[in-house]
Amino acid sequence: MTFSLSDVRDATPGVANVAHLNNAGSALPPTVVVDTMVDFLRREAAIGGYEAKAEALDRLEAVYGSIGALIGVPGENVAVVENATRAWDMAVYGFPFKRGDRVLTGRSEYASNVIALLQLRDRHGIEIVLIGDDETGQISLEQLESELEVGAAMVALTHVATSGGLVNPAQEVGQLCRRYDTCFVLDACQSVGQVPIDVASLGCDVLSATGRKFLRGPRGTGFLYVATEWIERIEPPLLDLHAATWTSDTTYSIEPSAKRFENWETNFAGKLGLGAAAEYAIGLGVDETWQRAQQLGAQLRDALSDMAGVAVHDKGKVKGAIVTFSVEGVDAHELHATLQTAGVNTSVSVPEYARFDTGARNLGTLMRASPHYYNTEDELGRLLEVVQSAAG
């Protein structure tokens, strides 16, 4: 570990209050993110919102470069929006589907994405094809290639599952999509800030992500990457005077960069905070923080697996820092409340969040603990102590 854990914790005031093992929900932000946002809000209060934005224009524009550097893309291919779901929606709802087009997706796909695809199925007559898991629990590359040979307009894949620890083989999926000239849409909501992301290596054409999770940015922020060759081919489903220009009484022209997927009014303090979070992650080194987060996830997974009456439900060849488990005879919501009373933050994962996966595995409501690089082994121990007591 090349970064200093003590320095990171000193820069994270929240660790003094709670053992925060809910980073897959919303991570504790570092001080630089909070200060960046608060300073801008104070400036808005002092001189006015429009004026504060004008004063910070260069810093706001720099956010695109920071996000681009984090995932290895030019800033002009990045749009900053209000959350990861809206980022994904702007690209997928704007995709030029034709009746009969096939969209391939995996069992780990998140509920919001599947609901959108179902609506697009009803609206445009597309077909949703579910790709099964291989023996490790990740998306089956063999079945995926077989379906790509048949033909597909899009592969929509969740990189890191919301439950189950799975890190899907996005790079291999990207290689297959290139081979079969298929648009690859990657939901990186749980991976950006946790897993090192290099878009060129992954080969995705579209990537959506949030600020609030492992990136440790503010809530209400997200971003979208769209490859240059797809920017002109995907027309945003919603336009305003930021995304387009009214050129005559009867015509308009759409913004040529990825900013066509944004809208005029936005949370400028949050945008600056998102940029600060990206710079902070780059400064620490996501390769290094990923190793630490993955190590903590493995330690927690192993310790829970050794407890009588506790079942761990993670799958995949590569597993990250999201750990899901259940305790025999103990309601997950009640255990969550008990942990919270003990000063340990976790979350509850209900089957409806990922029905393709939970239905196939006959899983009910699960506990979800998600450490990050700034957590300690002692904090894991606090969770384990409560779980052990609940398990009897």
Average pLDDT for runs of 10 along the chain of length 392: 93 98 98 98 98 98 98 98 98 98 97 98 98 98 98 98 93 98 98 98 98 98 98 97 98 98 97 98 98 98 98 97 98 98 98 95 97 98 98 91
Q: Report the CATH number of the 32-283 domain.
A: 3.40.640.10
CB-count exposure of residue 203 (10 Å: 0-12, 13-18, 19+): buried
Q: Provide the b/e sequence for 233-262 (b: ≥16 CB within 10 Å).
A: ebebeebeeebeeeeeeeeeeebebbbbbb
Q: What angle do CA 289, 189, 373 make, to 5 degrees?
A: 20
Residue 171 to residue 184: CA distance in whole angstroms: 11
CA nearest neighbour of 168 among 276, 316, 54, 36: 316
Domains of the chain, residue spans:
5-29+285-391, 32-283
One-letter amino acid of 129: V
User: 240 and 264 in contact (C-beta within 8 Å)?
Assistant: yes
Q: How many CB atoms lie within 10 A of CB 55?
A: 15
Contacts of 226 by beta carbon, 8 Å cutoff, 6+ apart: 77, 79, 91, 205, 206, 234, 258, 261
Beta-bridge partners for 195: 192
Q: Which CATH superfamily is domain 5-29+285-391 in?
A: Aspartate Aminotransferase, domain 1 (3.90.1150.10)
How far, in Å, are 121, 173, 338 from residue 135 at the CA level?
30, 17, 35
The encoded tokens of residue 332 equal: 């997950």
How confident is the model over 193-223, as pLDDT tens digits?
A: 999 999 999 999 999 999 999 999 999 999 9
pLDDT of 164: 83
Task: Specify the pLDDT at position 2.
Answer: 84
- pLDDT of amino acid 242: 98
Give dist(CA 66, CA 36) in Å, integer: 15
How far is Cα 333 from Cα 340, in angstroms, rounded to an integer?
11
State residue 209's pLDDT score.
98
Output the pLDDT for position 163: 84
Backbone angles phi and psi of 28, in degrees to 5: -75, 125
**Torsion, Cα of 338, 339, 343, 348 (10° steps):** -120
Widest CA span in the chain: 73
**Among 145, 144, 108, 103, residue whose Cα is nearest residue 125:** 103
Helix (H) or strand (E) holding 39: helix 31-47
pLDDT at 236: 97
Please tell me the predicted confidence (pLDDT) of residue 392. Answer: 86
The single residue listed with the structure tokens 């330690």 is 299
Q: Residue 232 is encoded by which pair of tokens? A: 């002109």
